[in-house]
Amino acid sequence: MSRVQTTKRKTSFICFFFVVWYTTYYFMNNNIFSSEKERLTKIRLSSSLTLSSNTLSTIYNNDNPLEELNMRFCGQTTCKFLFVYDYGEQETKANLHFRSFSQLAEKLNRTMILTNVGSSQINICQNYPFDFYYDLKLLRQEFPNVIYKYEDDFYLWLKIRDEIKKKMNYKKDNEIIPPLSILHSHLRRYDITTETIYREVKPVVSLNKCLSKFEPFMNLVDPKNSKVRYTIMDIAKSDIRPRAKPEFSELLVESLTTDEEIMLVNSFVLEALFPKVMPAIPYNDYILNEAQKLKDKLSSSYIAIHWRLEQARPELLPECAQGLIKTLKRVMTEEGIENIYLATDYPLLSSKSQSDTFKDITNYHHEAIRMLNETFKINTWVSLGGLEDLRKDKNYHSEFVGPGLQGILDKLVCIDANYFLAGSFGCSRILSTFTKSIEDERKDKIRNIDSGILNTIDRWKIIL
């Protein structure tokens, strides 16, 4: 066989490969689009894929396809990503952490991946794109210097990079495109240390299993696919106090200033990372509209109760219910309010509680809720028909087993209540960021005389 023939074969092989890949991509893309469209009619999520087939052929025909791909994705010839794949904690806190890492992405000049959401968390194992909870337009306004990409976009970038790599590295030992360079870092508040320590560690063997959803295009244990460096930062409690934060955040930025293309972060930091705490990321419009619908149904005025039964002493609960009933009667008479809205982790839909950490539901719990329910008409997000379309849709089933969207809905309804009651010590969990965030919002709103808001927060007492 002559050299010309071999080259011809190779070329046709590459062409054939490209056609197969392109066709696969085209159909995949269209499938994603049609399912996206079905969702649009209900909750109007934005489409996450940003590359048209025209764009793709431009990338492929470029002399340096990888640079072209990166320009399109990240606006720079090299892409550098910050992908915090687990934010730890539930939505109110995860929301705070997401803002901290957006500040970090800006400082590090990295494109930030919008980790999936669901079950009141932001992490890679969840099923729904980021805008299932949040308003991306307002997020981008809050952080105009950060480029945000969905997990789907990241997957697409990995996939196209991999194809380009295969195409350019087709000869043996021809390494034009190197393996992915990855830094995997675990950031955790670690109360045992008295000073913050950042160190290299051996490869982590038990990585989060959901990282495998980017295989085969990102595979942390295949050296041909990626070169991974592992680090841990143990953050001392004293370093993350407000006064220590300017210095701490500098250390953080300095430690994480690296050349790796992809920074994967597993985070459990508990506090804001930077001195400036940015305002909460607003929720998606469909959630706000749903909350408005509930508020309208509660007509002109209502008392909202936040009763988190987790961490209550079960045997106290019936007395707690009596205390609540007495307080409600007083407020209703004094303020002339007739409607009651209950936000609770007590199971309203299924037998599973609305908090992950709340497992043992006893007869005391049932008794307390029954007493309340027999005395007043108790409205909840379920009884008022909140999120009915989504609840009927089996694609969203997992969101309504345990904690999820309904927590956001409850929070929004509580924030605007004319009167707000939360459980006292023994009756409920006291140190709740969820309750605190409602209290903070109400503090702002009560300054406006027309808001109709009568108190910030009151805690009812047990009757013994």
Ligand X SMILES: *[C@@H]1O[C@H](CO)[C@@H](O)[C@H](O)[C@H]1NC(C)=O
- Write out the residues near ligand X by the rule CB under 6 A: 76, 109, 348, 369, 373, 378, 380
**For the residues of 189-213, what is the DSSP string, one character each?**
E-TT-SS-EEEEEPPPSS--GGGGG
Q: Measured from the CB of residue 5, what is the shortest distance to ligand X in angstroms?
A: 44
Q: What is the DSSP letter of 166?
A: H
Cα of first residue to Cα of last residue in the chain, in angstroms, is 97
Pick the closer one to ligand X by CB: 244 or 348. 348
Q: Measured from the CB of residue 380, what is the shortest distance to ligand X in angstroms?
A: 6
CA distance 440 to 408: 15
Q: Which residue has the tokens 């080259």?
A: 7
CA distance 235 to 104: 16
Q: Measured from the CB of residue 294, what is the shortest distance to ligand X in angstroms?
A: 15
Q: Measured from the CB of residue 385, what is the shortest distance to ligand X in angstroms?
A: 13
Q: Measured from the CB of residue 248, what is the shortest distance to ligand X in angstroms?
A: 21
Alpha carbon distances (Å) from 66 to 48, 173, 200, 224, 260: 21, 19, 30, 18, 16
CA distance 244 to 188: 17
Pick the closer one to ligand X by CB: 282 or 423. 423
Task: Quote the tokens at residue 11.
Answer: 């070329």
CA distance 383 to 413: 14
Pick the closer one to ligand X by CB: 207 or 348. 348
Q: What is the DSSP letter of 188?
A: E
Torsions phi, psi of 385, nearest 5?
Answer: 75, 30
Q: Measured from the CB of residue 305, what is the shortest distance to ligand X in angstroms?
A: 11
Question: Are the C-beta atoms of residues 283 and 134 closer than 8 Å to each other?
Answer: yes
Pick the closer one to ligand X by CB: 309 or 453. 309
CA torsion, points 400, 405, 407, 410, in degrees to nearest 10?
Answer: -110
Pick the closer one to ligand X by CB: 70 or 231. 70
SS3 243: helix
Pick the closer one to ligand X by CB: 231 or 379. 379
CA torsion, points 18, 24, 26, 28, in degrees to nearest 10?
Answer: -150
Pick the closer one to ligand X by CB: 195 or 259. 259
Q: Measured from the CB of residue 369, what is the shortest distance to ligand X in angstroms?
A: 5
SS3 327: helix
Q: Measured from the CB of residue 72, what is the shortest distance to ligand X in angstroms?
A: 15
Pick the closer one to ligand X by CB: 215 or 250. 250
